[in-house]
Amino acid sequence: MTEPDEQLTYEAATARLEEIIKRLDSGEAGLRGTLELCREGRTLVELCAAELEAVGAGLEELRLEDLVARLEAGAAAQGPPSG
Amino acid sequence: MAEPQARPDGIAGSALPGPFSVGRYAADLREYLRARARVQLFGEVWNLRVSRTKLYFELRDAAGALPCSMWRNELEALQLSEGALADGAQVVIAGGLDYYTGSKTSSPSFSFAVTALRVAGEGDLLAQLERLRKTLDAEGLFAPQKRLERPGLPRTIGVVTGEGGKARDDVLAGLRRRGWAGRVVWGFAPVQDRHAAPRITAALQDLAGTGEVDVIVVARGGGSLADLFCFCDETLCRTVALLGVPVIASVGHHTDRTLIDDVAALSCSTPTHAAESAVPVHCRDARAELLRCAHRLSVHARRALLHRAQTLVRLSRAPSEHLAGERRRLHQRLREIRASGRRRVEDERKRVGRRALVINRRVQAEALDARRAAGLNALALALAAHDPERTLERGYALVSDRDGEVVTSAAAARGARSVSVRFSDAAVDATISRDDDDRA
């Protein structure tokens, strides 16, 4: 079984998901293979759902200067990089 | 204006003549301008606008510009090829200054009234633009943005546009249409004047520099090519080309192709379309599709488990079913063996019975035969006892005549005269003599 990559993009995840569904629908996968595909598919569904959730909570509008200020504040809070 | 107002007092202390009524002054100005020498001018056409009766444009060069107007019938009389007179066209015009004095309800306007026009060739600005386009293309700067992977579902979208422009609302409308509600970072910048290009460039660099933006939309509504010329700035275009974040350009319309359209990852005709292109995935559809996938997976998983359970049940039942089958087979075999044994015994019994019957009959027949033989022997003995041969053996003789009739008396013997005397071993003929009679 292929473990979904943490850095998998939404498109890659949905493409793999479609591949899994197609494979399951074909009935070619054995019992063990089916369960493994279902497990991988569920992980991908969760990943995609999280991505959709992130762009579905509500539109946030931000000015560029505010974002920059926020990032700078965050960097300052973390302190200068050691080394 | 109905009637000129009564002339008011002038400004106290002013040495200038008047005050005069503005309408009269405007009429005088018009006459003054019209009295100026009529000349020929050359320059590039920009902001060309056509009304029902007149066309208006600005004649520009690097040093200055002049508003111009021309009657449409005079232009049409020139029979120029279609598109020959367009923004950027280098023209020579002839005419003179004119002034429309306006009225109470209409604004005055100053223009150079064109009475003749000749298209001299492609404008310098457009020629420069084309040269820059070729240079950037030759350097391969149209390609890098197109090689960038555009996310299907960006979390943060940067937008460079004018703060008060309609493009801003159009971008939001496009995002809403996609069902997308992530984070929009506005990089507001002027999008028209000569300060625009550096500000747009800076906004693009800053947005990309945050590392938070997945895709950037550069949006501006329609306008003349002159208005959009800031989007042909070389520095801006080189910046876009080498930016690590994909840029979607929506500047003006397709008829006005600027250089940013060439270097950007994607060029769209409207800000709404650009926003939709920034989010290729339709979020509402994607959610529905994801639910469908989850359901399909659930169905397959359930079926697989059910199948596994059924297999296990089948496997768990297999030994007892096998034993039961074996037991059934053994019982069957036993029944068959018993039946076969019974048939065999029955057959044997019948066969033995038949044989016993045969033997019995044979014994009975033999007994009968014996009995018959014994009877026969007795009869034979009885017969033998009465057999004359036996008498003959004891010394008696049987006398018969020639006819074979037994002679039982001497008289008959004499009467026969010739007789046969039979002894036990043989017969001999004899003749009865007379003497015998005498002896009798």
Handedness of CA A39, A40, A42, A46 (dihedral sign): positive
Identify the residue whose tokens are 């001018």: B41
Q: What is the pLDDT of residue B440?
A: 46
The Cα–Cα gap between A2 and A40 comes to 7
DSSP label of B226: T
pLDDT above 90 covers what percent of chain A? 34
CATH architecture of B129-281: 3-Layer(aba) Sandwich (3.40)
pLDDT over 70 at B215, yes or no: yes
The Cα–Cα gap between B116 and B70 comes to 9
DSSP label of B380: H
What fold does the segment set B22-122 form as a domain?
Answer: OB fold (Dihydrolipoamide Acetyltransferase, E2P) (2.40.50)
Domain ranges of chain B: 22-122, 129-281, 283-317, 390-439
| Chosen from B149, B180, B185 to mutate, greatest number of chain A CBs within 10 A | B185
DSSP strand pairing (B156-161 vs B109-122): unpaired
Q: What is the pTM of this model?
A: 0.56
A10 in contact with B at a CB cutoff of 8 Å? yes
Choice among A20-34, A68-82, B160-174, B426-440 with the minimum mean pLDDT: B426-440
Q: What is the pLDDT of residue A83?
A: 37
Give the nearest chain B residue to A72 (CA atoms).
B210
Q: Per the CB < 8 Å rule, is B153 touching A51?
A: yes
Query: Which whole number is the average pLDDT over B81-99?
Result: 84
Q: What is the pLDDT of residue B194?
A: 64
Chain A: nearest CA to B317, how far in angstroms? 20
Side chain identity at B130, as an amino acid letter?
Answer: E
Q: Per the CB < 8 Å rule, is A38 touching B300?
A: yes
Side chain identity at A16, as an amino acid letter?
Answer: R
How many C-beta neighbours within 10 Å does residue B295 have? 11
A12 in contact with B at a CB cutoff of 8 Å? no
DSSP label of B406: B
Give the nearest chain A residue to B290 (CA atoms).
A45
B388 preceded by a cis bond (ω within 30 of 0): no
Q: Give the alpha-carbon dihedral of B154, B158, B162, B168, to 10 degrees.
A: 20
Query: What residues contact B56, with CB distance under 8 A and at least 6 apart?
Result: B47, B48, B49, B50, B67, B68, B69, B111
List Cα–Cα distances, B145 to B63, B231, B239, B270, B337, in angstroms.
36, 16, 11, 19, 90
Domain ranges of chain A: 10-78
Model confidence at B384, in pLDDT bands (50, 70, 90)? confident
Taking alpha carbons only, the member of B218, B172, B171 closest to residue B191 is B218
Model confidence at B273, in pLDDT bands (50, 70, 90)? very high
Q: Per the CB < 8 Å rule, is A48 touching B155?
A: no
DSSP strand pairing (B215-220 vs B156-161): parallel
Among B55-64, B197-206, B309-318, top mean pLDDT goes to B197-206
Query: Which whole number is the average pLDDT over B179-186?
Result: 93
Identify which of B181, B281, B305 has the shortest CB distance to residue A57.
B181
Q: What is the pLDDT of residue B6?
A: 79
pLDDT over 60 at B436, yes or no: no
Query: What residues contact B433, with CB distance under 8 A and at least 6 apart?
Result: none
Count residue pairs from A and B with Cβ separation < 8 A: 112
